[in-house]
Amino acid sequence: MTRPETANRPRPRDAEATRAAILDAAQRLFTQRGYDGVGTREIASLAGCNVALVSRYFGPKSDLFRAALKGCVDFDPLLALPRERFAEALADHILAKRKSPDAADPMFAALRSSTSPDATRIVREELSDRLTRLLTDYLAGEPAAEEKAALLLGLMAGMDVGRHLIGNPALQPNRDDDLRPRLVAAIRAVLQDGPEGPGG
């Protein structure tokens, strides 16, 4: 039998689990409705916690949005590959993505947050500037490494929008056998040192 003095005592919180639940909820809701379409109370409700914990673990909503974007993107496996395998691996990474209504997606979160100046700045810093730096560092020593990095991100974003957001029939998974070699060729073209010769 439960002792009376402990019957209503709150269960101890698992701080890491709560933080992870808040981040997951934020990623999903920002993806679905964008920065201005979501409040911290809704995020807390989906995470199953008190709204005060959102600011305790992440600070203001803008910092939570930043953490949500950063947590959705992991380039480390690609950047650990030797240069000669990069084009094929990036093409596979792009084609492997599947649209899910419940999945966190930084591209959709960015597009649906474009009306907010604060969110737009964070998107630029976390998705454009940060990822461009990572790719530029990976391509270090190549001519025009920063421009190549920016073009690769543009190619990825274009495929994301055309395939998943607009739903272009020519870019759907049933065309992957035809799309893959063309995508690999496009990535290799970006990585070329110049008009005459290939780079990595």
Query: Could you give the C-alpha distances from 179 to 78, 94, 175, in angstroms and in order?
Result: 20, 11, 6
First to last CA, the chain: 70
Tens digits of residue pLDDT in 60-83: 999 999 999 987 888 899 999 999
DSSP characters for 20-58?
Answer: HHHHHHHHHHHHHH-STT--HHHHHHHHTS-THHHHHHH
Cβ pair 15, 9 in contact under 8 A: no
Query: Could you give the C-alpha distances from 57 to 16, 21, 50, 60, 74, in angstroms and in order?
Result: 10, 11, 11, 9, 22
The Cα–Cα gap between 200 and 194 comes to 12
Whether 9 shows a pLDDT value over 70: the answer reads no
Whether 89 shows a pLDDT value over 60: the answer reads yes
Q: Tell me the pTM.
A: 0.78
The pLDDT-based confidence of 200 (bands split at 50, 70, 90) is: very low
Tens digits of residue pLDDT in 96-126: 987 776 678 888 899 899 999 999 999 999 8
